[in-house]
Amino acid sequence: MKIKISFIFIFLTLTFILLIFFKSLFENKNYIPKKTKKIENISIEEFYSGKNLKIKDFFENEKYIIINIWSSWCVPCRQEHQFIKNISEITNLKVIGLNYKDKKDNAQKFLDELGNPYDIILKDPKGTKSIFLGAYGVPETYVIDRELNILKKYIGPINSENEIEIKRLVE
Amino acid sequence: MTKKLFKIFYFLFFLNLILFGNVNAETSKVDEISKNLRCLICQGQSVYDSNSEFALSVKTLISQKLAAGNSEDDIYNFLKSKYGDWIVYEPEINKFTFLLWLLPIFLFIFGGLLIVRKLFINRT
């Protein structure tokens, strides 16, 4: 009897541990906070003039804005650039570029070479502003509504599927 | 002559400590805080250990926040609100994490009881 109870106990613990192992095996490794969150209405410097601009002021008639964090030294940013361009063609949507830890000359060269899809470009030379957005690095893309809720957050380069998803979301 | 020189040297040394000692204190505060933060894009490194762009930015932000007069807890709460509880190494006790804190204690007591039983009760 005693042996049976301890056997059952060991068996249950082992299955419990195995279950956790298997569950974590198939779980998405990228950690994305579950709560959709608001961003604060912080002010960020404009890329050319260095003037401080507030995020809320970007909204005029548009319901949504896109914030795309990019950098000239970031290779995946080159991949996604075409998709950002496609998104920028949507009417009534502002696409804002946040230039992350970059040199002005290099960033300008990047835009000259690949085209400038952004309505407004902001700069974040120290990377501290992107922490206010909850960013991990470059590239990252956010869909934000008028109340500054983050509706969608893409970590890493966006692809054609994401492009369609964004189009559906904002139209 | 040499005594005088020594005196001047000592004076300058302590003056230096008084003037610039504070700077060191601030950077060590940044170190202290960043050691408690997990670098989210690195494998098993703290923000303090890592030299990734993310970690460097977080460190700059911590020193900015400290300079602005924010307390240590303010900084943790700010980062938690942006990145979730995962960014701090020590999770808070709440309804989702109480098992995490209590289970080891229970297991410890359970193991202790097993040992006590084996050693004292079986022998008699």
Q: What CATH number does the domain containing A127 carry? A: 3.40.30.10
Mean of pLDDT values over B87-93: 82
> Which residue range(s) make up the domain with A106?
43-170
Task: Determine, yes or no, domain membership for A23.
Answer: no
A-chain residues near B121 (CB < 8 A): none
Residue from B30, B39, B57 to probe the interface with A (highest A Cβ count within 10 Å): B57
Tell me which of A36 and B97 has the higher pLDDT: B97
Nearest-Cα residue of chain A relative to residue B78: A132
B-chain residues near A69 (CB < 8 A): none
Please give, rounded to a whole number of angstroms, the shortest distance from the CA of B21 to a CA of chain A. Answer: 26
Task: Determine, yes or no, domain membership for A125.
Answer: yes
Task: Determine, yes or no, domain membership for A77.
Answer: yes
Task: Determine, yes or no, domain membership for A84.
Answer: yes
Residue A115: which pLDDT band, with cuts at 50, 70 and 90?
Answer: very high
Q: Is A33 on the interface with B (CB under 8 A)?
A: yes
Task: Determine, yes or no, domain membership for A80.
Answer: yes
Number of domains in chain A: 1
Please give, rounded to a whole number of angstroms, the shortest distance from the CA of B27 to a CA of chain A. Answer: 17
CB A98 within 8 A of CB A127: no
Residue B1: which pLDDT band, with cuts at 50, 70 and 90?
Answer: confident
**What confidence score (pLDDT) does residue A110 get?**
95
The model's pLDDT over A20-51, given as tens digits with 9 standing for 90+, comes to 888 888 776 555 555 557 888 999 999 999 99
Task: Determine, yes or no, domain membership for A16.
Answer: no
Cβ of B56 within 8 Å of Cβ of A127? The answer is: yes
Out of A20-24, B9-13, B14-18, B52-56, least confident range? B14-18
Task: Determine, yes or no, domain membership for A107.
Answer: yes
**Cα distances (angstroms) measured from residue B60 to each of A111, A128, A167, B55, B99:** 28, 7, 36, 9, 35
Mean of pLDDT values over B99-114: 91
Kind of pairing, strands A94-100 and A120-124?
parallel
User: For residue A62, which of A89, A95, A93, A88 has the smallest C-alpha distance?
Assistant: A93
Task: Determine, yes or no, domain membership for A27.
Answer: no
